[in-house]
């Protein structure tokens, strides 16, 4: 058993999968974020220049979603979102962690209401 007889060394640990290394993931995330930022800037530019003239239905949808749910902006302008860049980088791992976090928080809240304590 390493660690009891001597200190662990770098050679004792297995080599990490290169696709999971932080430098690689940071590069992928940055590329995904920049790609999404360019798309948002292009969309906002088309709105500002008048190249895209929204229909009455689009304007109504933007205003309704913003007023009812706080989604988007009432004028249709977009902002760069980090969540979608993270989704592009990590895929199902990102979303499954989010679902677990929400379900765990919901379960914890229900147990606290009944006087129980839980840990997730």
pLDDT tens figures, 19-56: 899 999 999 999 999 999 999 999 999 999 999 999 99
Question: Is pTM, for the whole model, over 0.75?
Answer: no
- As a whole number, mean pLDDT of residues 79-97 equals 93
Give the N- to C-terminal CA distance of the chain in Å, as an integer.
30
Is 84's pLDDT higher than 90? Answer: yes
- The pLDDT-based confidence of 89 (bands split at 50, 70, 90) is very high
d(CA 64, CA 74): 8
d(CA 9, CA 11): 5
Give the chain's mean pLDDT.
Answer: 87
Packed helices 82-90 and 22-49: angle between N→C axes, nearest 10 degrees: 140
């Amino acid at each position: 058993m390493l660690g009891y007889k001597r200190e662990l060394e770098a050679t004792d640990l297995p080599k990490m999968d290169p696709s999971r290394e932080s430098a690689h993931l940071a590069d992928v995330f940055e590329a995904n974020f920049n790609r999404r930022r360019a798309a948002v800037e292009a969309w906002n530019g088309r709105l500002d220049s008048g190249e895209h003239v929204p229909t009455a239905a689009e304007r109504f949808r933007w205003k309704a979603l913003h007023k009812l749910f706080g989604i988007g902006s009432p004028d249709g302008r977009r902002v760069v979102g980090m969540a979608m860049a993270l989704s592009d980088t990590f895929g199902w791992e990102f979303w499954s962690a989010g679902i677990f976090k929400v379900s765990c928080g919901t379960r914890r809240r229900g147990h606290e209401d009944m006087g129980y304590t839980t840990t997730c």
